[in-house]
Amino acid sequence: MTASRAPTTAEELRGAGLRVTAARVALLETVREGDHLGVEAIASGVRDRVGHVSLQAVYEGLHALTAAGLVRRVEPAGDPARFEGRVGDNHHHVVCRTCRAIADVDCARGAAPCLTASDDHGFAIDEAEVIYWGLCPDCSATSS
């Protein structure tokens, strides 16, 4: 029996119905290796990998990857969008009110019970977005 291997980035793009380009591969890999990166940081990472790429191309690529479910857009109130490669598990986020650091938080009660709303108003719910707000350890230490 052969061990199954993880699909390559190019195979994932093809599997999602997206055209494989060097810029898209670099974009997906940059998001996955980053930590809730903003568009400028992603563009810089892509440029480090493939050379020049326009900011517009980065926005278009992120839109395509998000629509395909390969990356997730996180947009806490009052902040610009950030992107992450952790998808499909309905996790949540915690955001620092001071420095705006973001960290992942697993669902507080196990296997996504947050998808069972007290009143779904007839919606077929497939995702819940919970954002916890507070101070990160560094900002808590400086405010004491």
Give the pLDDT confidence score for residue 113 in this predicted structure.
Answer: 60
Q: Left, alpha or beta for 51 (phi > 0: left; psi -120 to 50: alpha)? A: left
Residue 28's domain is classified under what CATH number? 1.10.10.10
Residue 38 domain flag: yes
Residue 19 sits in the same domain as residue 66: yes
Give the pLDDT confidence score for residue 88 in this predicted structure.
Answer: 82
Assign 144 a pLDDT band (cuts: 50, 70, 90).
low
Please determine, for residue 132, whether its predicted confidence score (pLDDT) is greater than 70.
yes
Residue 138 sits in the same domain as residue 95: yes
Q: Structural domain tally of the chain?
A: 2
Compute the average pLDDT of residues 10-21.
Answer: 95
pTM score: 0.84
β-strands 82-84, 131-134: how paired? unpaired
Residue 92 sits in the same domain as residue 70: no
Residue 127 domain flag: yes
CB 33 within 8 A of CB 75: no
Give residue-wise pLDDT tens across range 66-103: 999 999 999 998 899 999 999 988 788 999 999 999 99
CB 82 within 8 A of CB 102: yes
Half-sphere exposure of 135 (CA within 13 A, CB side): 9
Give the pLDDT confidence score for residue 119 in this predicted structure.
Answer: 82
> Residue 102 pairs with which residues in a beta bridge?
95
Containing domain of residue 125, as a range? Answer: 88-143
Assign 17 a pLDDT band (cuts: 50, 70, 90).
very high
Give residue-wise pLDDT tens across range 33-49: 999 999 999 999 999 99
β-strands 82-84, 72-74: how paired? antiparallel
Residue 112's domain is classified under what CATH number? 3.30.1490.190
Residue 58 is which amino acid? Answer: V
Please determine, for residue 115, whether its predicted confidence score (pLDDT) is greater than 70.
no
96, containing H or E segment: strand 92-96
Compute the average pLDDT of residues 45-66.
Answer: 96
Q: Provide the 10 A C-beta neighbour count for residue 120.
A: 10
